[in-house]
Structure 1
Amino acid sequence: MDSNRVLICGGEAGGSPHACLKALGQLLSLRKIDVALIHGGHPHAETAQRWAASNGIDHIVYALNVRRHGDNAWRHLNRLLIEHGNPDGIVALNGGQGIGHLLSLAVREGIPIWMPYGNRHQPKAC
């Protein structure tokens, strides 16, 4: 993955903050992230947000809007993350609702995906 704007997703179900920090540290050491870290504003994303701030990397948050989009809010959020977030690459950690859908959108757009801890999420129909 050769990226400057990286979307981080997953990690909610059984993911550890250490796993998130390790993956982000690897990207930083390889100079794969230097402009922006993009995420969906989930409380578990606070680890990534603090990491970005401490490393001088901007972070962009697209929050889930259940009030406006109801049961399809996470699908809408996934589309926002891909279409408006415009990531150059995705770090997919294990765990989290809707990750398969998000990865399907990324595959369709030709966005590289890095799964540092395995492939528990298969792309799903959009």
Structure 2
Amino acid sequence: RSGSVDAVASDLPFGKQFLSVEANSKLFPRLLRELGRVLSPCGRAVLLTSEESAAVLIEPSALEAAGLSLHMALRTRHCNLKCVAVLLTPCGASVGFDVSGVEDGASGPWLSWKHDKPLVACT
């Protein structure tokens, strides 16, 4: 149902063992459009993929077409692979977290974000 999902977290294909970077470049824009459709107005999505495939997730035209905003892209390592975690919300939504202290390449500081306001269901 449209607008019915408050949170999505996914470890997407890296284009190494499953699919390819080229296949991800076709899959990820469709994924973004579906996220834009199903996320509630205050919903959030945290997606992890390879550094090579992440370029598709943060492509401004793909985000705009999906009605999503990029709040953060954090380079890190997962299973010794270079990867990127991205935080997306519907356009105009507040992220609800203080990410000002997050440093690129750090080992998972996004797991300790501080709420800048209580997380409550949007009405």
TM-score (norm 2): 0.41
**Higher-Rg member (1/2):** 2
- Higher fraction of helix: 1
TM-score (norm 1): 0.40
- Higher fraction of strand: 2
